[in-house]
Structure 1
Amino acid sequence: MIDLKGKVAVIFGLANKRSIAYGIAQKFAEAGATLVLSYQSERLRKESEQLIEDLGQTGTAKAYQCDVANDAEIDALFAQIKDTFGTIHSVVHAVAFAPPAAIHNDFLLTTRDDFRIAHDISAYSLIAVARGAAPLMEAGGSILTLTYYGADKVFPNYNVMGVAKAALEATVRYLAASLGPRGIRVNAISAGPIKTLAARGIGDFSKILDAVTERAPLKRNVDQSEIGGAALFLASDLASGITGEITFVDCGYNITGL
């Protein structure tokens, strides 16, 4: 059993119980980690506090506001974490966004501003978060982000998000090289499709779910718990020699042709 007692894990992007980040937070909490949740704006504060209660971390976990598009808020977040916990051991970056028009419209119609926003929130924010976290990871640790197979292959109605995820995966590799000398590992999980709030914005999402069920070697889709288990492994000392990798947790869908 993986033991994270005494470890502090900072999780960005835990929006609700249906999010992939919630499955990760559950596994971390079960392993004994102390959680720090980051919520985007004041209107999400109460929901984050409720999630702490649901995860059984009342009195130990903390929730702080941080919009990852704002460097000042990132700096303020890690200053608060330093004052409260001193050190962190894991960071989970489960943040992605593209304007709806850039998802729904033909890719050729992607505007310059929508392209910029998608890459800023979905890819650059990992760099910004890693830069803030690194000084508090004095003993090394794990930084983990979430990607999707749409970074490699064209999926209908994924559009600019697929390009942003490709940038995110390259960012993982370059950050792994940059932070490796400090003992900080950087990896990504390429999760299979799950019915999250974010997934609702992808047209014909049910067809993607059906395709995975039909073609994946395991003949089913993944669930939050399975992604959480992979994240727990990658954050633990069992994965001490793994960095810069994209780990697929998709029931094997990515290995199939026809």
Structure 2
Amino acid sequence: MEFRRGEFSLIAAGPGTGKSLFALNLALYGNIPVMYYSADSNAATQLTRATAILTGDNVRDVKRKLLADDFGEYTAYLAKRWWLRFNYEARPTLATIETDLRAYFEVFGMFPHLIVVDNITNVDGGAVGDAESFTFGLEAMCEYMSEMARYTGAHVLALHHVTGEFSDGLAPIPLSGVKGKIGRVPNVILTIHKEIDGMDGRILHVSPVKNREGFEDSSGQTFSSYEFHRTNMQLTDVDDLI
């Protein structure tokens, strides 16, 4: 699966499945310019997760050092990701997003290569009165983000929820399981479900349910698998472990 610049994609999963961790691992991979809208997670959570992913240290130890104001040893690691920027507003507006992107261009002389919106429903796109207007609003938001991808040349990755029957995250999620049925606009849609081994281990299964330029299986039954390491928040391709 490729996340191509100038395109818009969507990742959908149930709460607590791991979609934010998947997006954060992607944002940190390769040291590319990133603008991350983290409406669901605060600065302390994202800082400790990112530090653990980058260093491999136990996330609990990282959090303890942060709270004890003993974070100096991690400065060099974080400095290597100097063009990764976060916005932690719980309800960012479209005006806020545009201002941030203009500011990013002013500082770095270019737009981010990756823009993450976590979650798309947290973006304030105006009042929503009923289910029909909710779906229409999501469609319009997807159109906006698709245009933003083309204008900035960034890959715009939005995180989203699934319908109630798939909210536990334990079964493959088809394209029809994406909340609001907003599958028309994104170039790529991935759904994530989890496998728990009974010993506190977890594997995330990522299904390409829509892909305009490559393989897709709208049933969600075809997926790639990643082992989630709870200690350092890293994801490892299961195929690499064989």
TM-score, length of structure 1 as denominator length: 0.46
Name the structure where strand makes up a greater proportion of residues: 2
- The higher-RCO structure (CA 8 Å, 6+ apart) is 2
TM-score, length of structure 2 as denominator length: 0.48
